[in-house]
Amino acid sequence: MIKFGSVKKEHLVGAAIGVGTVAAGYYLYKKNQSKVDSFLRKQGINIKTSSQAAYDNMNLEELMTTKEHLEDLIAEKELSTNTTISEAAVEVTK
């Protein structure tokens, strides 16, 4: 059984080294993300990124779903912008 009260300095050093290693790995991945993703795709691993949508590789259904989602976002932005403008106009006329 593991006792949590017996944490030693070695445990803390190991945890700190682990966190540092993960942080360094994440930093290096983000710095070279396009190269790493390209390499992984060549190996047959499909990497999807939110910042780079591969519209050319989508089928018609996926494209239509994306289109509908974008139209919904545009409508929400327009509605919130119009509401803000209307509220500002009411305040100016008072």
Check residue 56 and give its pLDDT.
76
pLDDT at residue 55, as a whole number? 78
pLDDT of residue 57: 78
Mean pLDDT by 10-residue block, N- to C-terminus, for the chain (94 residues)? 74 95 95 90 80 73 92 92 68 58
Q: Which pLDDT score, from 0 to 100, does residue 2 have?
A: 58
Exposure of 58 in the CB half-sphere (CA atoms within 13 A):
13
Q: Do 47 and 34 form a contact (C-beta atoms < 8 A)?
A: no
> Which pTM value belongs to this model?
0.44
What pLDDT, on the 0 to 100 scale, is given for residue 89? 60
Give the integer Cα–Cα distance in Å for 18 and 23: 9
